[in-house]
Amino acid sequence: MLQEIYNAWCSGMWATEPKEDCPCRGYGWGLSDVDTWHKCPRHNNGQPHPEDHEDPNTGDGSSEEEDPEEAERDAEDWAAELRRDDAWCR
């Protein structure tokens, strides 16, 4: 049963006009009943996957290229904070 639902969504036959009636609601991605995202063949014009690079502050799914050096600094800062917290707990 789950495989049948998944396959139906993969087929793209669920996409409809007008976009307000489409399961993607015009945003380009539809969420199936089995909790999988599927690109809408009618309304996706290059929108990123909803779970890729989602901004937790806006939730809009917009993406920006991340600076690798900044990401490394953030990871180092986070690791240092964890070490401080761990030392405090001892």
Cα separations in angstroms, 4 against 8, 10, 23, 32, 34: 6, 10, 17, 11, 10
Q: Rounded to whole angstroms, how far apart are CA atoms 56 and 13?
A: 32
CB atoms within 10 A of CB 26: 14
What is the pTM (predicted TM-score) of this model?
Answer: 0.54
pLDDT band (50, 70, 90) for residue 90 = very low
**18 upstream amide cis, omega within 30 of 0:** yes
Tens-digit pLDDT profile for residues 12-43: 888 999 989 999 999 999 999 888 899 999 99
The single-letter DSSP state of residue 14 is T
